[in-house]
Amino acid sequence: MKRLAVAFVLIICATLCKAQENNLPPLDKSPMDMSYYPNNYPVLKIQDKVTEPLLARVIYSRPQKSGRIIFGDLVEYGQVWRLGANEATEIEFFQNVKIDGKKVAKGRYTLYAIPNADNWTIILNKDVDTWGAFKYDAQKDVLRTTVPVQKLTDPVEALAMTFEKSEAGCNLVIAWDNVETSLSISTK
């Protein structure tokens, strides 16, 4: 019975997906998204609820797990990964910040990651407006920092990036499949 119900839902989903595909031009399979710190800054702004200045914004595309094993398989350990899909993932700082004790001037950067089983290396690179990590140029790195990974019990279907408040400023939280990691961004 349960299987029948699941099949029923899947058929509906498949039909709807197909209906969408018939209308050109298609949406990206990995849709783009944007996160601000302060979180939901645009909404806070129109509600006159902004209490701290704009600090950062990330623009990224959101690949989906689709039943695959992501880390160590689809995304190989030890290799530079574009931390998204399609256009390279971009982080913009609206103030000068510090990451891992290093000064980062306000402006736009491309974000990459090198995932490993226990930690990720997060890379800030100044070659913006590019595509993926296919032409990644380490000479344009602004900084590299290594952060630990946490395992999640409930897998995250679509790659997610969001910010959370921290004492020093904010953390960029990155989660996909059964892995979560966090990059500390300091305004002090």
Partner 1 sequence: MKLAYFGLPALLIIVSCTSRNRGHPAGSETGPAASIVDTGAGNPYAPVDLSPMDMSYFPVNYSQRKMAHEIATPPVMRVIYSRPHKQGREIFGKLLKYGEPWRLGANEASEIEFFRNASIQGRKVSAGKYVIYCIPYENKWTIILNNDIYTWGLKIDSTKDVMHFDVPLQKAPIDFEYFTMVFQTITGGADLVMAWSDTEARLPINF
Instruction: Give contact residues for partner 1 (rule: CB under 8 A).
Output: 1-2, 4-6, 8-9, 13, 16-17, 20, 23-25, 27-28, 31-36, 40-43, 45-46, 54, 57, 59, 62, 64, 87-88, 129-132, 134-135, 154, 156-158, 160-162, 173, 175
Q: Which residue, 130 or 187, is less far from partner 1 as judged by CB?
A: 130
The DSSP symbol for 138 reads: G
In degrees and rounded to multiples of 5, residue 139 shows phi and psi of: -65, -20
For partner 1, the closer CB: 14 or 103: 14
What letter would DSSP give residue 135? T
Shortest distance, position 171 Cβ to partner 1, whole Å:
12
CB of 136 to partner 1, least distance (A): 10
- Name the residue nearer to partner 1 (CB basis): 10 or 102: 10
Strands 97-99 and 107-115: unpaired
Query: Would strands 56-61 and 32-37 be described as parallel, antiparallel, or unpaired?
Result: antiparallel
State the amino acid at position 165 in one-letter form: K
Alpha carbon separation from 7 to 4, 14, 68, 132, 155 (Å, rounded): 5, 10, 20, 35, 21
Closest separation between CB of residue 76 and partner 1, Å? Answer: 20
